[in-house]
């Protein structure tokens, strides 16, 4: 349960509330006695419930879309992981230079220019603090867990989301170049 929610309090809260509701609304056999034991299989089945997954995913995006830089960079890192895995290469994570290169290719108005690398470095540090990504070795960054990758969606969804940044204006309140 904790790893599925990436240890994020807001996701744990949604997931726990949905699990309680799921089990509360579940029909009980006539011969059932209290207390009813909820076993691992029941929890696993509930966690595969589309309604529960949708609510947890919505909560995740409410959190990550608060700062669109996080949304872009998480998708850049996920896309890089998927591309490397598809080509048979598996080097975990991306260097800050690789993240910056991809970020500026999708959101040039935000991450292009001489300050772009600094903006990526700042956002990556913040994302590590939020538990979205983790440092791998001395110079690479990866998504914190497979749960985050799953929450971001399919390869096609990730690519579509990245393409949505191609014409996006910079986030003015976070881009010191605009102040």
pLDDT string in tens for the chain (179-residue length):
666 666 667 777 877 887 888 878 888 777 878 787 888 887 888 778 888 888 888 888 887 887 899 999 999 999 999 998 889 887 889 999 999 999 999 999 999 888 999 999 999 999 998 888 999 999 899 998 888 898 899 999 999 999 999 988 888 655 444 44
| In contact, 159 and 35? CB cutoff 8 Å | no
Q: How many CB atoms lie within 10 A of CB 148?
A: 20
Q: Whole-angstrom Cα distance, residue 172 to residue 116?
A: 14
List phi, psi (to 5°) of 33: -115, 155
Predicted local confidence at residue 147, as pLDDT: 85
Q: How far apart are CA 175 and CA 128, in angstroms?
A: 19
Phi, psi of 7 (to 5 degrees): 60, 15
Residue 145: enclosing H or E segment and its boundaries? none
Kindly state the greatest CA–CA separation across the chain: 70
Q: Which helix (H) or strand (E) holds 64?
A: helix 50-64
């Amino acid at each position: 349960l904790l790893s599925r929610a990436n240890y994020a309090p807001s996701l744990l809260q949604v997931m726990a509330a949905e699990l309680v509701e799921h089990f509360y609304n579940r029909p009980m056999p006539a011969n059932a006695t209290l207390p009813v034991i909820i076993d691992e299989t029941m929890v696993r089945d509930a966690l595969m419930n589309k309604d529960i997954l949708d609510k947890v995913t919505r909560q995740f995006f409410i959190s990550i879309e608060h700062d669109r830089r996080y949304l872009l960079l998480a998708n850049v890192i996920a896309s890089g992981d998927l591309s490397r895995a598809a080509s048979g290469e598996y080097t975990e994570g991306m260097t800050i230079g690789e993240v910056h290169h991809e970020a500026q290719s999708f959101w040039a108005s935000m991450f292009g220019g001489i300050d772009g690398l600094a903006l990526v470095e700042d956002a990556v540090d913040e994302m590590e603090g939020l538990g979205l990504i983790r440092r791998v070795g001395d110079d690479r960054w990866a998504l914190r867990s497979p749960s985050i990758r799953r929450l971001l969606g399919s390869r096609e969804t990730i690519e579509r989301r990245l393409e949505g940044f191609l014409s996006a204006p910079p986030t003015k309140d976070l881009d010191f170049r605009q102040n």
